[in-house]
Amino acid sequence: MTRNVFKILTVTLLAGSLGQAALSVPAYAGGRISFNLAPANAEDADLFSTGLRVYSLYRDLKNADIRQLGRGNAAGIAQNGSGNLGFIQQRGNGHSATLRQNGNNNAYGIFQYGRNTETDVVQDGDNGIGATFSYGW
């Protein structure tokens, strides 16, 4: 008898959870997540800048570089000053990114993956460092 009660309870719980899963459809299927990295002090800024510059050497990137793999992507970099490093890497479809660097010795990297992400960054002044990572679905 307890075995039958256990089976009935198991089937009821399973059927109830499947029904709930079928009814819970997301209201919006697309989206994105993005985070920015910016050093909080001069020591961290030097380390971060060195990391970006080593990465650019490893990838054979020059002062400004855009690399895209996918369809419908758009990107642009504008630099005023000297010693600036900026790069945009996009993998996937429908990305958009701009980077404007005004000043000297700025370094910034934008990395976009998935689809339909948008990032616009402006660096004004000297020695600005940072990176943005975005993923869209």
pLDDT number for residue 3: 58
pLDDT in tens, 38-66: 999 999 999 999 999 998 898 888 899 99
Cα(122)–Cα(77) distance, integer angstroms: 10
Cα(108)–Cα(29) distance, integer angstroms: 31
CB 101 within 8 A of CB 116: no
pLDDT number for residue 33: 95
The predicted model gives 75-88 an average pLDDT of: 97
Q: Tell me how crowded residue 22 is: count the other CB atoms within 10 A of its CB.
A: 8
pTM for this predicted structure: 0.77
pLDDT number for residue 16: 56
pLDDT in tens, 82-123: 999 999 999 999 999 999 999 999 999 999 999 999 999 999
Exposure on the CB side of residue 64, measured as CA atoms within 13 A: 14
